[in-house]
Chains A and B, each alone.
Chain A
Amino acid sequence: MSAETKVLDSWVLAEFATPDALVDATRQMREKGYQGMDTYSPYPLHGGSEALGLPPSRVPFIALGGALTGIVTALAFQTYMNTIDYPLNIGGRPTFSLPAWVPITFELAVLLTAFGIFFGLLGLSRLPQPYHPVFESEEFRSASTHGYWLSVPTAETTVKPDDIKNQLTSLGATHVTVVTGEKE
């Protein structure tokens, strides 16, 4: 048993019939003091992140960083290439043609912003994740089609899994199960 708890964790998974029931149950469980819970649904639940008490997303700051990097990089390389390193008179236009730099600067700002937020999301959410303990449960597969699930980790609480199960059932869970998987 002791060897097992070092590498394995258990989660109680509960399925709810409606999104409201899930959000409600999540809020009540959090008020009871459970930590590290997560909810799973086929589409984003409104109020889900509030019920879990999640902080605001950091993504907009990554976006701003990407945009500024793009603007600075594009202006720098265009000026270096066409004004400093290879100044060539084309159509009598000045070698430092700032208005003509604008289109590419804009494109690069957009590109780097999009890359920033896309990879930022993957990083923050630790995707791609080849393994997740919830995949151990066969029933859990409904979370991507029509089910509304709540996971409660047992590692961060002293309450016994069976008691958690009972609490969840009393909150209206239609299906409760325990999965055991490797620690993250």
Chain B
Amino acid sequence: MSNQHTSTLRVPLVSEERTLGQLTEEICAPMERKPSRMWWVAFALAVVTLAVGVGMVTYEVSTGIGVWGLNKTIGWAFDITNFVFWVGIGHAGTLISAILFLFRQKWRTSINRAAEAMTLFAVMCAAIFPVIHMGRPWNAFWVLPYPNDRGSLWVNFRSPLLWDVFAISTYFTISAVFWYFGLIPDLATVRDRVKGGLKKAVFKVLSFGWTGSSRTWHRYETVYLLLAGLATPLVLSVHTIVSFDFATSVIPGWHTTIFPPYFVAGAVFSGFAMVLTLMIITRVVLGFEHLITIRHLENMTKVIIVTGGIVSLAYGTEFFIAWYSGNPYEKFTFMNRAFGPYAWAYWTMVTCNVVSPHLFWFKKVRTSPAAIFVLSLVINVGMWFERFVIIVTSLHRDFLPSSWSMYTPTVVEVGTFVGTFGLFFTLFLLFTRVLPIISIGEVKSVAAFARGSHAPGHASHPAHGSETPHEHPAEAPEPLPTPALAAAVVRKDMPV
């Protein structure tokens, strides 16, 4: 019905021809065959790392947070850095699934499921840090406003840390709903492929009795669109609120009004780097090169250039205003960042975040998975250092020189951080085994387009229908007669 006219200049999104049945087969294959040796090796590594983290956390909780390298000047360091780092990673998942969906970027279809899962796992990793920093994590529920018999006693709604509680929990819930919602049709597909037994029973329950009925699809599309529309401002608000943790204070280096958009851009920047890292591994290990194509990788590198540019602009503006303000403390903080004892961290950050993304201007770099992989790791490192620099350098030399101090993480802190990677990869590897990591339904709709069959009702995205104004069916305006339109020629060098 509402068929998008597509130029022949466009490049197909699924690079090899497949029938719908073959696609289902391929995407479901990793969860139906026995795990490969590579998977077992990776899984064992991840579980061991996770065990290290669990050990460290157990030690920390049973001993007290004195086992961390914090002191009275630097009361916040590794934990909050890691918290912001992981939350930021998570945001790219929502960006890919929701924002790219709203922008009708169809290339997202083969990566959005994995990216959403990544969001969930990253937010879990992030949430660990504030909880263990409480020292008595079993009292964590005290941050919630619940009726109690301690007289009138309520949490303080003017604190950005409480906003965080609401933001992160809402974010996790919505991400989970969004992810599960997108999974339902695919769960039904798996249900219908499995012959019987326990697995069939489990998928029967999980798929909610999905039939693929038009009536349900009709509402499903509206709900998906609305969820995407909600997740987009939500993801902005979450990192905005994370930035408020710092910016609402009066600490030089933290209190600056550009923090909200700057943190959001930074989150997208680091998150896309993490998605790239994961996708490059996944496509090689699972043999999905034709589904997660070079083009997907290339598009993501372009997002990285743009967000890296925004981050660089923010660094520059901050520096300028620090000087312009004439505030000696502000100026000192920034000079201390660049030339003080943590200068090595600062320049690592600049090299990784400001300089290295510009290598992506070269097409050769953008289309080489190995180069992208290395750069994505570099950017992840850089963004971790960005948070470290913001947090530690702003604190370590405060207003009183007598309380100046240095911060070095202890083994426990490093071990906890490494342990969260273990958690993240354990969950991600399990995910690749038990659920379809590519959205089958969505890939089918773009695969129809890839075959060049622009049959009405075929080339469209799964969740687009209810939005469509139906008063414009296939009879599009005639091509302009004068002057004749340029003939569309398929050209390799043509950007599409």
Contact = CB atoms under 8 A, between A and B. Distances in A.
A111 B185 CA distance: 23
Contacts of B456: 20, 23, 46-47
The secondary structure that dominates the B interface is helix
Interface string B419-444: 00000000000000000000011101
A110 B167 CA distance: 10
Looking at B193, B223, B455, B470, the one whose CB has the most chain A CB atoms below 10 A away is: B223
Nearest to B3: A46
Interface string A77-97: 110011001101011010001
Interface string A138-176: 000111111001000000000000000000000000000
B189 interface: yes
B458 A20 contact: yes
Given A41-B217, A46-B457, A97 B158 contact: yes
Contact of B188 (A110, A120, A121, A144): A144
A39 B211 CA distance: 9
Interface in B186-224: 188-189, 191-193, 205, 208-223
A114 B209 contact: no
A29 interface: no
Interface stretch (B233-241, B323-331, B355-363): B233-241
Nearest to A143: B212
B462 A43 contact: yes
Contacts of A110: 170, 174, 230, 233-234, 237
Contacts of A114: 173-174, 177-178, 227, 230
A41 B212 contact: yes
Nearest to A97: B158
Chain B interface bracket (under 10, 10 to 19, 20 to 34, 35 or more): 35 or more
B170 A146 contact: no
Interface string B151-164: 01111111110110
A18 B325 CA distance: 67
B467 to A, nearest CB: 11
Contact of B211 (A40, A81, A100): A40
Interface string B136-172: 0000000001000000111111111011001100100
B468 interface: yes
Contacts of A59: 219, 222-223, 226
Contacts of B1: 23, 46-47, 50
A19 B458 CA distance: 7
A97 B163 CA distance: 14
A81 B154 CA distance: 6
Looking at A46, A125, A127, A129, the one whose CB has the most chain B CB atoms below 10 A away is: A46
Contact of A86 (B153, B217, B470): B153
Nearest to A124: B219
A86 B441 contact: no
Chain A interface bracket (under 10, 10 to 19, 20 to 34, 35 or more): 35 or more
B455 A20 contact: yes
Interface string B449-485: 0000001111010111110101000000000000000
B20 interface: yes
A146 B147 CA distance: 53
B365 to A, nearest CB: 35
Interface in A48-72: 48-50, 52, 54, 56-57, 59-60, 63
Contact of A57 (B21, B163, B222, B458): B222
Looking at B181, B210, B444, B455, the one whose CB has the most chain A CB atoms below 10 A away is: B210
B244 interface: yes
Nearest to B209: A129
A166 to B, nearest CB: 23
B212 A40 contact: yes
A48 B468 CA distance: 13
Interface string B236-251: 0100110010000000
A34 to B, nearest CB: 14
A146 B226 CA distance: 27
Contacts of B220: 44, 121, 125
B442 A43 contact: yes
A144 B215 CA distance: 15
Contacts of B455: 18-20
Contacts of B163: 103-104, 107
B457 A20 contact: yes
Contacts of B440: 42
B209 A128 contact: yes
Nearest to A37: B214
Nearest to A81: B154
A8 interface: no
Given A110-B174, A143-B212, 9 more contacts: A19-B458, A44-B462, A46-B465, A82-B154, A82-B157, A104-B162, A117-B227, A122-B208, A143-B211
Interface of B: 1-3, 19-21, 24, 145, 152-160, 162-163, 166-167, 170, 173-174, 177-178, 181, 185, 188-189, 191-193, 205, 208-223, 226-227, 230, 233-234, 237, 240-241, 244, 440-442, 444-445, 455-458, 460, 462-466, 468, 470
30 contacts: A23-B456, A40-B213, A41-B212, A41-B214, A42-B185, A42-B212, A43-B185, A44-B217, A44-B460, A57-B222, A59-B223, A59-B226, A81-B154, A85-B152, A90-B159, A97-B158, A101-B157, A106-B237, A107-B163, A107-B166, A107-B167, A107-B237, A110-B174, A114-B178, A117-B223, A128-B209, A129-B211, A144-B188, A144-B189, A145-B193
